[in-house]
Amino acid sequence: MESLLQSFFGDNILTLLLYCSLPLVFLLLYALLAILGEVKVSAWMQDRLGPMRTGPYGIIQPIADVLKLLQKEDITPANADKFLFNLAPYLSFMSAYAALAVIPFSSQYVGADLNLGLFYLLAISSLNVAAIMMAGWASNNKYSLYGSMRAVAQIVSYEVPAAMVLVIVVMFIGSLNLQDIIIAQSGPFWNWIVFGGPKQDVMLASGHTLDASWTNLIFFPLFLGTFVMYYISGLAETNRTPFDIPEAESELVSGYHTEYSGMKFAMFFMSEYANMFIVSAVTAILFFGGWNSPFGVYLGDAFDAPWLVAVEQFGWLVLKGLFFVFMMIWIRWTLPRLRVDQLMYMCWKVLIPFSFGVALLVGFLVVIL
């Protein structure tokens, strides 16, 4: 992809900027789609039509929403810490955007092919906590403060099981590089990690060969559990129902972003949706083959068109990611919200011991097999 851009624009800073802003373009388009998805899916689940007046079937509603937010007065409360208050939404969005850098959208496009990709992902998405804390504290509002305190406690807690789950996969594959993890799952869908991982030896991008055989099937129940644990932690980290305690509407009005309006609110909103996609994409990458086609073959190969393969791979990843985003929306409009102590119980007394147990078991199996 980079070489393609270079062939058009030459090897200069413009190419680099363009290359870096591709995920932003994707993110903006995705956010519009996700907002529409949220309102439409919730409407269908609730026996309603949802927005119908803006465009056919209301499909340009998200654009109308964005325009509305752009026109809103940008309020900074008089008693707020103005610097932190204004910085927080951008920091929050930045952390979400920076995390996209290591997401491999296809075999040809990954913003930064880091060998420590997963590690970077964990680190950079934790920055969001700082932004939330900043927002809650700088707003000088008790509701915001409560919301941000809850959010910080929740996100920091749930990072432990999420990181442990990543360790399980890393232990199995032997690489922190996300491209490696995806390549290890190439071929038909039964090679996906959720189904026990690759069934024959694969050569990773790093040149290292991953020994595998059909005995990997014994990992199937373990990795299925791991997937569920990761998805639950992901829901908690993105503050989605049933873990939307930091912005629990019925208790805290809207938590840490109570005082935000206009585009600053939109930034928080965008970062929430971006985080939803990141969690979903990472779920797809770690457990569902990332950009691999579930059939193991590509249309592009049949037509001998490598660019088509890349497009297809992009399509598969986005499709898988959007499916998990849809699951989040589905869950949100189905379940009630947990209480703050139940949330912590779930994390520290259920997910963490289980993830450690599974990690121990997987580690043991990896060594003996």
Partner 1 sequence: MTENLDVLRQGIASGRLKTDELVLNMGPQHPSTHGVLRLELVLDGEIVVKIIPSMGYLHRCFEKHAEAMTYPQVVPYTDRMDYLAAMNNNHGYALAVERLLGIEVPERVEYIRVIMAELQRIASHLVAIGTFGMDVGAFTPFLYCFRDREYILDIFERTCGARLLYNYIWVGGLSHDVHDGFERDVADFIRKFRPTVTEVNNLLNYNKIFIERTAHVGVLPADVAVSYGCSGPMLRGSGVDWDLRRDDPYSIYDRFDWNVIVGDGAAGTLGDCWDRHMVRVGEMEESCRIIEQALESFPAAGDIAEAIPKRIRPPKGEIYTRVENPRGELGYYLISDGSANPFRLKVRGPSFVNLSVIDEISRGHLIADLVAILGSIDIVLGEVDR
From the CB of 143, what's the least distance to partner 1, in Å?
A: 8
Q: How many residues does the chain have?
A: 369
CB 66 within 8 A of CB 28: no
* Touching partner 1, residues 151-210 (CB under 8 A): none
Q: Decide if residue 242 touches partner 1 (CB under 8 A).
A: yes
Upstream peptide bond of 306 is cis (omega within 30 degrees of 0):
no
How far apart, in whole angstroms, are the C-alpha atoms of residue 101 and residue 22? 10
225 closest CA partner among 120, 334, 361, 103:
361
Stretch that binds partner 1, among 14-22, 46-54, 201-209, 316-324 (CB under 8 A): 46-54
* Touching partner 1, residues 313-352 (CB under 8 A): 333-342, 344-345
Q: Decide if residue 48 touches partner 1 (CB under 8 A).
A: yes
179 closest CA partner among 107, 245, 111:
107
How far apart, in whole angstroms, are the C-alpha atoms of residue 42 and residue 334? 9
From the CB of 63, what's the least distance to partner 1, in Å?
A: 24
Which one of 10, 12, 47, 73 is in contact with partner 1 (CB under 8 A)? 47
- The per-residue DSSP string of 25-36 comes to HHHHHHHHHHHH
Q: Decide if residue 134 touches partner 1 (CB under 8 A).
A: no
Q: Decide if residue 44 touches partner 1 (CB under 8 A).
A: no
Beta bridge partners of 110: 104
How far apart, in whole angstroms, are the C-alpha atoms of residue 279 and residue 121? 10
From the CB of 246, what's the least distance to partner 1, in Å?
A: 12
Q: Decide if residue 245 touches partner 1 (CB under 8 A).
A: yes
Which one of 93, 137, 146, 265 is in contact with partner 1 (CB under 8 A)? 146
C-beta closer to partner 1: residue 296 or 353: 353
Contacts to partner 1 by CB under 8 A: 42, 45-48, 142-143, 146, 241-242, 244-245, 248-253, 333-342, 344-345
